Structure 1
Amino acid sequence: MSTVLLILVALGFLSIVVEDMVHIDKAKTTLFFGSLAWLLYFIAPPAHLSHDILMERLDENLLDIATLWLFLMAAMTFVAYLSGKGIIDSIVNRLLPTRISERKLMLLTGLFAFLFSSLADNITATLVCIAVLTNLKLPAEKLLRYVVLVVFSVNAGGTALITGDVTTLMIFLADKVEIPDLLLLSLPAAGAVAVLAGMLSLGLSGEVQIQKQETVIDRGDKVIAILFFATILGTIGANVAFGIPPVLCFLFGLSLMFLVVQFLNKDEPVLEYIRKIEFDTLLFFLGVLLLVGMLKELGMLAYFPALYDVMPPVAANFLVGIASALFDNVPLTAALLNSGIDMTLPEWLSLTYSVGVGGSLLIIGSAAGVIAMSKVEVLTFVSYLRYFLYLLVAYSVGFVAVLGLGQLLVM
């Protein structure tokens, strides 16, 4: 049965790859294979697991999925409101000149995504960045390059902060690295983003003309925009100070948004913005997480600690980062931490970087990639894969820079 389940998981991921050829929405196929795998897991459980254990494992996976779903729903509703009210257009008008070179725009995109994801979570940063880019009305092929950079940059941006990436927090709580060491990780991570931006800029020589439009934003909408950023900052603060899960803070912020709109503009059908969410995005997210959860239950992550027995830790960390493009980096990191691997500070820092950034190598390797693929029509598994070598070079440059930084710290 384990073999059958692995085949189903493989078919689920394959359905994403061949979406353009079979013309079947990836949200439908991933949900089908993911739910079918879990059904068979209950009908004929590997190792004859008891029903109680099966329920416990299902509940654990569903809790993770529900948490991400609710968080994504709240963040997407906020962004849908801000976009619908023209607030994002207004920000673009204020921040960008009437004309800007495509290369300069590429660098600014990478910098904005990197910095914003350091303040917000990857999902929110991706949604906002994509909303800004789509408002620029770029040609499809050029838009693809910018979105590829966004996916890589938002993953790199949170690597150096315990609030920016769960795996960074896990390694910190295991006393493998200190906060000052982690903060320095932002330098090689930003360097990797700059390298990728430079490569993606090759062949771009034109200019982007931004059509400035006067957008009248009323007082209530300005309050909502402030509330959105206050929710982001409050989420970070509440998580650090009290350990409150981000989803609770965002749901609270969303409820405040509903009440503020109700009192400031009683005729506004604010709940309609929930209906404007592309639910195929949520269904695709659900299907992918069911597939990844099944890989975890089948014990595929248990093989990765064995890498450290057959190769140097640095090489193993590099490969683990690449593997995180297929496997959820949270259980992967947990498996490595629980294995009792002994590494030096530079090696732990390289692992922190690799599991945080490595998921960018494939579009399905991170929440940012999954969201981007659902929101941008031109972005598919295959179209993103065309930039794999660029992404691998940028990832590798950052990895080497982390090793050099780690050596300086132990001198």
Structure 2
Amino acid sequence: MLAQILAVSIFCVMFVMIILEIFERQWITLVCGALTLLLVFGLGMHSWEAVMETLNVKNIFTVGFWYAKEAEESSSGINWATIIFIAGMMIMVEGMARVGFFRWLCMLLAKAVKYKVIPIFVTFMLMSSVLAMFIDSITVILFLAAVTVELSQLLKFNPVPMILSEVFCANLGGSATMCGDPPNIIIGTSFGYSFADFVCNTGLIAGISLIFTVIYFFFVYKKEFKNVESVDTSTFPTPESAILDKKGFGISCGIFGLAVVLLVTHAQTHLSVATIGLGIAIITLATAPKYIGEIMSKVDYKTVLFFLGLFMVVGGLEQTGILEIVAGFIGKISGGNVYLMIAIIIWVSALASAFVDNIPFAATMIPVIQSLAASQGVALTTMTWALSMGTDIGGSATPIGASANVVGTSVAAKAGHPVSWGSYCKTAVPATVIVMIISTLVIFVRYL
């Protein structure tokens, strides 16, 4: 009982502090993770075994961690596959950013539609969604929003509607694949799902939702862009001017293509995502030896540390049986009704992710849906896709729901266009509800 009280207390304090943003979130999770090891496992459980299972270091030194012939669920505790994969992809993305890949792509598409604002608006939404399928949505929005601001200054339009639409589409695109959003990476590595598994399931839902999303934002914001006056585009910077290193640009494109191929085929090659992430990172650094220091200095270590602490805290809930109790509670409320159970998972996930970071929520819910699948007889895959869509899309509803939202609104604010909660939620909440309804209906029709 003492261990359970301590585990829940530490978890609640962590969540509150993350929301309040009193300290940087990586220090919050690391300190709470250390307290979990000392108080929950030490004082409450007197179990060295629980500590070792949560740290989960021995898993890294198994063959199955790097090369798995069969899909395996990871053991409890720190999900090292997620951490290694995310770190590896961060290194690849920084290598691409160094040579100007993202700015080149944005300028190329803008020129292709002859710098017409409404075509740029639609094109950038689609590009945001597609890029976020393979690259972290934070990075996508960081560069896309910056270029949007630049274009808005050249073409004389308000960049906020375009940035908000890009943010939403990035979160939607990230839900389509295993590597698009951090919650999906955690889910995929925890349950042994492949890139193709996500594309065939959440990818279908995201694809249908994207059509309605683009139409929705087009009609909501078309008045904003309709009266933009034409300007002389002859002096605009060319896409080629964005390329800072031609040789490096070609190499970076090749590495990105290789990463996509490896992710798409990893179910056939049996290479784990940890192997792919580490391999891509090594290739990126090996092909740019002069810039290793520059690339490594820009990697987001704070997010990696955030994950480490988070997994330890969730491990405390798992080891003390709290998550099984939560699963039992959901099962009791639903009364064994599968439809109600799935609806609870997807809508509660969406509501929670709108106000708290969707990464810790997803990590917390994974053992919960495992217990539900075992006790209620509902297919684990069905609950997995419900959790994935709920956490990925729910975070789009508010400015703090997902990291991409924070980045996008910050870029706009720095450019002199602050975004209030009211103006953000006015368009984002209805869009979120539309996608959640589509997701619920597709899951009901396809899986139940």
Which range, TM-score by smaller chain?
0.7 to 0.9
Q: Which residue of 1 aligns with 2:286?
A: 259
Match of 1:336 among 362, 366, 369: 369
Pair 1:313-2:325 in alignment: no
CA deviations on 1:207-230 (whole Å, 9 max, x unpaired) are 699952524555421332222322
Unaligned stretches of 5+ residues in structure 1: 263-267
Is 2:86 the counterpart of 1:84?
no
Taking the TM superposition and a 5 Å limit, the aligned residue runs for 1:38-187 are: 38-45=37-44, 48=45, 50-59=47-56, 63-64=78-79, 66-97=80-111, 99-101=115-117, 105-118=120-133, 120=134, 123=136, 125-137=137-149, 149=165, 152-160=168-176, 165=184, 167=187, 184-187=204-207
Q: Distance in 2 between matches of 1:146 and 1:31?
A: 36
- Return the letter of the residue paired with 1:229: F
Residues 378, 284 of structure 1: CA spacing in aligned structure 2 closer, same or farther, 3 A cutoff?
A: farther
2:274 matched residue in structure 1: 247
Secondary structure of 1:96's counterpart equals helix
The one-letter amino acid of 1:117's match is A
Q: Does residue 357 of the first structure (1) align with residue 389 of the second (2)?
A: no
| Alpha-carbon contact 2:78-2:312 (below 8 Å) kept | no
Instruction: Summarize the Cα distance change of 1:9–1:364 in structure 2 as closer, same or farther, 3 Å threshold.
Output: farther
Amino acid at match of 1:80: E
- The alpha-carbon deviation at position 410 of structure 1 amounts to 8.7
Given that residues 77 and 274 in structure 1 are in contact (C-alpha distance below 8 angstroms), is that contact kept between their aligned partners in structure 2? yes
Please name the residue that 1:265 is paired with: none
Structure 1 counterpart of 2:237, which letter? K
Say whether residues 1:276 and 2:298 are aligned partners.
Answer: yes
Relative to structure 1, is the Cα distance of residues 317 and 58 closer, same or farther in structure 2, using a 3 angstrom cutoff?
same
Q: Cα RMSD over matched residues?
A: 4.6
State how far apart, in whole Å, the 2-side matches of 1:390 and 1:296 are: 38
Deviation of 1:13 after TM superposition, in Å, equals 2.6
CA distance 1:390–1:61, change in 2 (3 Å): farther
C-alpha deviation, 1:274, in angstroms: 0.5
| Aligned counterpart in structure 1 of residue 15 of structure 2, from 13, 16, 20 | 13
Does the 8 A contact of 2:347 with 2:436 survive in 1? no
Matched letter for residue 318 of structure 1? I
Q: 1:129 & 1:6 partners in 2: Cα distance?
A: 34
Report the equivalent of 2:438: 401
TM-superposed deviation, 1:256:
2.0
Partner amino acid, structure 2, of 1:309: K
- Where 2:287 maps in the other structure, the secondary structure is helix
Q: Is the 8 A contact 2:132 2:171 kept in 1?
A: yes
SS at match of 2:292: coil
- Give the total of aligned pairs: 389
Q: How far is the alpha carbon of 1:152 from its aligned partner?
A: 4.3
TM-score scaled by length of structure 2? 0.67
- In structure 2, relative to structure 1, the CA distance for the partners of 1:226 and 1:203 (3 Å cut) is same
Secondary structure of 1:212's counterpart equals coil
Tell whether the 8 Å contact from 2:311 to 2:363 is kept in structure 1 after alignment: no
Shift in Å, 1:292: 4.3
Kindly indicate whether the alpha-carbon contact (under 8 Å) linking 2:361 and 2:391 is maintained by their aligned counterparts in 1. no
- Matched residue, 2:70: none
Say if 1:149 and 1:196, in contact at 8 Å, map to a contact too.
Answer: no
Structure 2 residue runs of 5 or longer lacking an equivalent are: 57-74, 153-157, 335-339, 414-418
TM-superposed CA distance for 1:249, in Å, is 1.4
Structure 2 CA distance for aligned equivalents of residues 32 and 345 of structure 1: 32
Distance in 2 (CA, whole Å) between partners of 1:15 and 1:345 is 32
Residues 135/69 of structure 1: CA separation in 2 closer, same or farther (3 Å cut)? farther
Provide the C-alpha distance between the structure 2 equivalents of 1:233 and 1:343, rounded to a whole number of angstroms: 32
One-letter amino acid of the structure 2 residue matched with residue 88 of structure 1: F
For residues 25 and 345 of structure 1, what CA distance do their matches in structure 2 show? 34
Question: Which of 234, 238, 245 in structure 1 is aligned with 2:261?
Answer: 234
CA 202–55 in structure 1, closer or farther in 2 if over 3 Å, else same? farther
Percent identity over paired residues? 15
Q: What's the CA shift string for 1:311-370, capped at 9, x where partnerless? A: 3235323334336625543562453244343559997665663355345456776xxx34
Q: Could you report, residue by residue, the CA deviation over 1:249-289 in whole angstroms, capped at 9, with x for unpaired residues?
A: 13212222333335xxxxx3434311233434444444444
